[in-house]
Chains A and B, each alone.
Chain A
Amino acid sequence: MKKTIAHIYALGDQAITIEWSSTISEEVNDQVMHSFHFFQIHPIEGVTDMIPAYSSLTLLYNPTIIRKQAMGGSPFEWLKKKLAALTVAPETVAQETAPIIVPVCYDTSLAPDLVEATQITRCSIEELIALHTSKIYKVYMLGFLPGFAYMASVHQQIQLPRKANPRKLVAAGSVGIAGEQTGIYPIEAPGGWQLIGQTPLKIFDITKEEPCLFKPGNWVKFEAITLEQFHQFNAA
């Protein structure tokens, strides 16, 4: 694999970030995922958390533990050196390729911005649904809320700007678009994405051992369901 580590910087005194690029691209994000998965398989002792993002990976660390490995030297400098020397062989990475199927009801009663979205995009509701369900999206990163997956890229024709005035409350399961990104609100929360549908799936469930449906690097495909199917989904 090509080594294109552009920039390693301190994110305060207990976190370090590797940034490959300042653009969003699948290739750059693949590099993030390779490194993220590599450190999941080969953890560095003292690294307590990882935050993979579009084009960067942040490692949070316990400086006391890192300092021991650094023989008393600077924990940051030790980690920086280690990361700079890193070359991740793609074969060490287990890729999950089968997409997670997410049923979405695009009925206007569950999609408060759908009509507006058709006006912005000059697509009919049917066209918009067809375009949104036509692609398999990549989970580039999670953030904002527990289990909130940033997926991309939606078809150019249905890319929508964020709402000028974010909603105070967005229902859990709401499917939204913001620019080239699409995502699902895992829990009720304030939000500014254009809401075009709703899934009956539980995206975030605290009673489960793995509470989040999506992981970084997953693939997701939306499938349109009717309002009736939506209501039957959790009744069944």
Chain B
Amino acid sequence: MSITIIKAGLFSTVQDTGRKGFQHLGINPNGAMDVLAMQIANLLIQNKADEAVIEFFYPAPVFRFNTAAFIALSGADFVASINDIPVPINHPIFVPENAVLSFTKKQSGHIGYLAIQGGLELNEWMNSYSTNTRAGAGGMEGRALQKDDELKLKASAIQKNSQSQLQVLPWMADTKGLYQTQSLRYLPGNEFSLLNTFSQQFMTNAQFTILADSDRMGYRLKGPALKSKKQIELISSGVTNGTIQLLPSGQCIVLLADHQTTGGYPRIGHIIQSDIPTLVQQSPGTVIRLIPVNMETAEKINTRQGQYLQQLKNACTLQLNAYHRH
């Protein structure tokens, strides 16, 4: 009961919803960049929403299933195929023993997720399966997946019933309502008011390009150099997922899953949590727009997204139960 990594891919790691409760020790949260896609992949196959999944970029990894499995792909569409038969994202899929899952093209999105029913048999580190590559802990030996890695699987229903045919189940998770198609929304940060007039004006409808040296620590944004009214020296304090920091160069970085727990740069804003999945699915070179919202709006959007995810979860459960009864 395992899968083998035939090709490593660019930066494939095991992630869950992140490591909580240790940021006071400087241990950053890690976790899936797109927590929505991660949860959807799990919900499609009746895993716990926070079960550990494999996160990957393009070029994507190639997997061999050494046992029959029940899986789902979500997030980026890298045009997946199993034994050279194209399979869609956001559908539950029965995979036969010895099947090879590969990806051919970066069609849409930036980060893909593979969830396997039952989950991966790994040891938790500090209450989480997420990989902290800097600490060398969590996930698969604290590192990105390599060629010939064998990841053990926990028992799942399909392994017991040993399905022998590749089968894509007909229903899909409709994720459209979860991602933002227009401008990304941010809450102005504590140091926003320190920006000069031009910079504040710019941020009312900001346009940035995501730079190539963006990674799991943060996405760097290219735009006009933003400046504060006067030189500011800040004392280090907490930062979080989505914090937009203004670097001394005048460029901005949005902190993401592998961010440091504290920072001393001005925090001019924070991407609302609901829009982080949309942001991380944009590839370098993409132009994004940022608009400010207030707390009331941000909280409303979050609640709505939570409800949508709950409905999706219920729908997946209903469909699967009906299928099993059938």
Contact = CB atoms under 8 A, between A and B. Distances in A.
Contacts of A234: none
Interface string B200-231: 00000000000000000000000000000000
Nearest to B136: A206
Pick from B23, B136, B235 the residue with the most CB of A within 10 Å.
B235
Contacts of A52: 24
Contacts of B237: 17, 19, 51, 53-56, 58
14 contacts: A11-B238, A11-B267, A12-B271, A13-B295, A17-B237, A23-B235, A51-B238, A57-B238, A58-B237, A58-B240, A141-B236, A142-B26, A143-B26, A146-B26
Contact of B137 (A13, A144, A206): A206
Interface of B: 20-29, 125-126, 132, 134-137, 142, 187, 189-190, 234-243, 260-263, 267, 270-273, 295-296, 298-299, 302-303, 306
A9 B20 CA distance: 21
Interface residues of A, number: 50
Contacts of B267: 11
A51 B303 CA distance: 25
A216 B126 CA distance: 18
A145 B234 CA distance: 19
B272 A12 contact: yes
Interface of A: 9-15, 17, 19, 22-24, 36, 48-58, 60, 63-64, 67, 74-77, 141-148, 150, 186-187, 189, 204, 206, 211-212, 215-216
A12 B240 contact: yes
A48 B21 contact: yes
Given A12-B273, A76-B295, A24 B134 contact: no
Pick from B132, B135, B272 the residue with the most CB of A within 10 Å.
B135
Contacts of B235: 22-24, 53-56
Contacts of A50: 23-24
Given A11-B243, A67-B303, A206-B135, A49 B23 contact: yes
B24 A11 contact: no
Contacts of A145: 26, 134, 260
A212 B126 CA distance: 12
Contacts of B296: 74
A159 to B, nearest CB: 15
B179 to A, nearest CB: 17
Nearest to B135: A146
A13 B238 contact: no
A23 B234 CA distance: 9
A170 B267 CA distance: 28
A63 B306 CA distance: 10
Contact of B134 (A11, A19, A146): A146
Nearest to A62: B20
B235 to A, nearest CB: 5
Given A11-B190, A49-B21, A55-B235, A143 B262 contact: yes
Contacts of A49: 20-24, 29
A218 to B, nearest CB: 11
Nearest to A80: B295
A9 B242 CA distance: 16
Given A12-B242, A49-B23, A143-B26, 10 more contacts: A13-B187, A15-B238, A24-B235, A63-B299, A64-B306, A74-B295, A143-B260, A146-B135, A148-B26, A206-B137
A11 B20 contact: no
Given A58-B237, A143-B26, A148-B26, A13 B20 contact: no
10 A-B pairs closest in CB distance = A58-B238, A12-B270, A143-B262, A51-B238, A142-B26, A53-B237, A206-B137, A13-B298, A56-B237, A49-B23
A29 B296 CA distance: 32
Contacts of B238: 11, 15, 17, 51, 53, 56-58
Given A11-B243, A146-B134, A146-B135, A54 B236 contact: yes
A144 B272 contact: no
Given A74-B299, A144-B26, A51 B262 contact: yes
Pick from B28, B137, B299 the residue with the most CB of A within 10 Å.
B299
Given A12-B242, A49-B23, A206-B136, A211 B187 contact: no
Nearest to A36: B24
Contacts of A206: 125, 135-137, 142
A187 to B, nearest CB: 7
